Amino acid sequence: MENNHGLLIVISGPSGAGKGTLCQELLRQMPDLRYSVSSTTRCPRPGEVEGIHYYFRQRQEFEVMLARDEMLEWAEFCDHYYGTPRFAVEQAIKDGMDVILEIEIQGALQIKKRFPQGVFTFIVPPSLDVLSERIHKRGTESEEVIQKRLATAIRELEYVTEYDYVVINDEVPLAVDKLKSILVAEKCRVKRKPFVFKGEYK
């Protein structure tokens, strides 16, 4: 009998690699794909909606979730907790839906320990020069901050071997096609299809 559970697709990569753009385009082209919504203890910003952008929780609520092991991964940043709730991801996968999660590397490695059957894909720019150009074009950070981001990106590239796939984001349409191909290939993997072989298969 075929396993109809969905896939958890974890997307990571250095800042400026274009992860967000690729995820948005993938979701646009694949409307049945679910985007994993994170929880946070910070207050909603203007326009942010509960359950769409984040699950907004009080600090005490978040700590109770941690104590109950209800997070796939979590981190504390600028005095606020951020994390991926297990309930939403696991329920969607159980219901046969594919879930995509865009997350930083340390969070992805936490999830890999808890959910090794996930599909872990690392997004990289064509070169460090291209990465530098993309970050500069944002025009939102000082040169000092940009250089720190580039140095961080170089360190982050060392983690690529922890992932199942690597996709070079040179042109968005081509990179999205590669991500879609990865999903098709993963659904055809033998370990995801535990058929009961009968006489006609021998």
Same domain, 116 and 184: yes
pLDDT digits (tens, 9 = 90+) for 73-106: 998 877 889 899 988 898 899 999 999 998 888 8
Do 175 and 106 lie in a common domain? yes
CA distance 187 to 2: 11
Report, as an integer, the average pLDDT of 55-76: 94
Read off the pTM: 0.81
Residues 6+ apart with CB under 8 A from 125: 14, 16, 17, 18, 131, 134, 168, 169, 170
Last residue of some domain: 97, 119, 141? Answer: 97
107 and 127 together in one domain: yes
Residues 51 and 111 in one domain: no
CA dist., res. 126 & res. 166, Å (int): 12
- How many domains, in total, are found in the chain? 2
**pLDDT tens track for 38-54:** 899 999 988 889 988 88
Kindly state whether residues 29 and 124 are assigned to the same domain.
yes
Q: What is the DSSP letter of 51?
A: T
Last residue of a domain, one of 97, 121, 136: 97
CATH label of the domain that carries residue 66 = 3.30.63.10
Are the C-beta atoms of 26 and 180 separated by less than 8 Å? yes
pLDDT single digits (tens) 106-157: 889 999 998 999 999 999 998 888 888 877 877 667 888 788 878 888 888 9
From 50, 69, 97, give the residue that closes a domain: 97
Identify the H or E element spanning 65: helix 59-67
Residue 113 and residue 139 in one domain:
yes
Instruction: Tell me the C-alpha distance between 105 and 156, whole Å.
Output: 8
pLDDT band, very low/low/confident/very high, at 195 (cuts 50, 70, 90):
low
pLDDT tens, residue by residue, 8-20: 999 999 878 889 8
Share of the chain above pLDDT 90, in %: 50
Question: What CATH number does the domain containing 181 carry?
Answer: 3.40.50.300
Write the Ramachandran bin of 51: left for phi over 0, alpha for psi from -120 to 50, otherwise beta.
left
Element (H, E) at 83: strand 80-85
Q: Are residues 81 and 126 in the same domain?
A: no
Instruction: Read off the pLDDT of each residue in 159-172 and give the average, rounded to a whole number.
Output: 95
Residue type, 168: I
**Domain interval for residue 44:** 37-97
Identify whether residues 8 and 76 lie together within a single domain.
Answer: no
Whether 112 and 78 map to the same domain: the answer is: no
Same domain, 115 and 128: yes
Q: Do 110 and 23 fall within a single domain?
A: yes
Residue 200, pLDDT score: 52
> Could you tell me if 199 and 107 lie in one domain?
yes
